[in-house]
Chain A
Amino acid sequence: MDNLRIPILKIGDILIASIQVALHDASAVQFKDDLLQKIHDTRARGVIIDLTALDVVDSFIGRLIADIAAMAGLMGARVVLTGLQPAVAITLVELGLELPRVLTALNLEKGLAMMQRMTSEESDDGAE
């Protein structure tokens, strides 16, 4: 069976992926691979992953998101997680997965503003 592919959109040098359906493990791993490849292909400097539509984030997906943020970081791209529902935030912390090194924003709009602020600051610093 083919894995479900999550569409990854590009706006300027930012990638946006909105996860709209419950991911089974293989689809989630596929998403990680697709996203890292797309960062490489597009030279994106930021990635926003929007989880507004997810009502369950278990330890597998939580850990995968932390891995994606670390891997994207190694490639020079920042990851901002947006749209976590209250119940998802509560269960993640109760599970013991606080994702301390993942940047977050309340919603996609705030995430995009945060990302644009970070990437423009880096440009001002003379970074590539």
Chain B
Amino acid sequence: MAQSKTAVIRSDLDIVIARTMARDMAKALGFGPIDQARIATAVSELARNIFLYAGTGNVTVRDIEKGSRKGIEIICEDQGPGIPNIDLVMQDGYSTSRGMGMGLPGAKRLMDEFDIKSKEGVGTTIVCRKWRT
């Protein structure tokens, strides 16, 4: 039952669309209401990051399996300016914009796994996962 859905982020309306898409998939995959809220909130933070810093990008959600574990994976990609210092943006309270500095570290806390790759002038890719308990 491989599922994958992508939302294109171009405006603040697309942030709501992306998080609704993630919540619907989390629900379909059997996540409980609190994990659905965590996943939807993490997608909201990551999609807003794309909108604020890169302008446009994609958010993809898909189901994943590892052995007997099932989960959801969120992939956020943009071709924006990239993040020169990832350690810095992962600190609580760090912000260069209206993001209030809570977006990336907050999203990381809401998910089980969080991986960020970024290259200046090329873009940023964030992959995060949550496993069903």
Interface residues of chain A, those whose CB is within 8 Å of chain B, are: 1, 22-26, 55-60, 63, 85-88, 90-91, 94-97
Total contacts A-B at CB 8 Å: 73
Q: A87-B36, A88-B37 are in contact. List 6 more A-B contacts (CB 8 A).
A: A24-B12, A24-B16, A26-B12, A59-B103, A95-B106, A96-B102
Query: Measured between C-beta atoms, what is the minimum distance from B106 to chain A in Å?
Result: 4
Query: Which parts of B61-111 form the interface with A (CB within 8 Å)?
Result: 92, 99-100, 102-103, 105-106, 109-110
Give the CA-CA distance A1 to B13 in the complex, in Å. Answer: 11
- By Cβ-Cβ distance, the 4 closest A-B pairs, closest first, are A87-B37, A58-B44, A25-B12, A95-B106
B20 nearest CB neighbor, chain A only: A22
> Are A91 and B92 in contact, CB atoms less than 8 angstroms apart?
no
Give the CA-CA distance A59 to B48 in the complex, in Å. Answer: 10
> Are A58 and B109 in contact, CB atoms less than 8 angstroms apart?
no
Interface residues of chain B, those whose CB is within 8 Å of chain A, are: 12-13, 15-16, 19-20, 23, 33-34, 36-38, 40-41, 44-45, 48, 92, 99-100, 102-103, 105-106, 109-110
B45: chain A residues within 8 A (beta carbon): 58-59, 95
> Are B41 and A95 in contact, CB atoms less than 8 angstroms apart?
yes
Give the CA-CA distance A94 to B111 in the complex, in Å. Answer: 10
A88: chain B residues within 8 A (beta carbon): 37
> Are A59 and B37 in contact, CB atoms less than 8 angstroms apart?
no
> Can you list 27 A-B pairs, Cβ within 8 angstroms, ordered by A?
A22-B16, A22-B19, A24-B12, A24-B15, A25-B15, A25-B48, A55-B37, A56-B19, A56-B37, A56-B44, A58-B48, A59-B45, A59-B100, A59-B102, A60-B100, A63-B102, A87-B33, A87-B34, A87-B36, A91-B37, A91-B110, A94-B38, A94-B110, A95-B41, A96-B92, A97-B102, A97-B106
Give the CA-CA distance A110 to B1 in the complex, in Å. Answer: 46
Query: Measured between C-beta atoms, what is the minimum distance from B60 to chain A in Å?
Result: 19
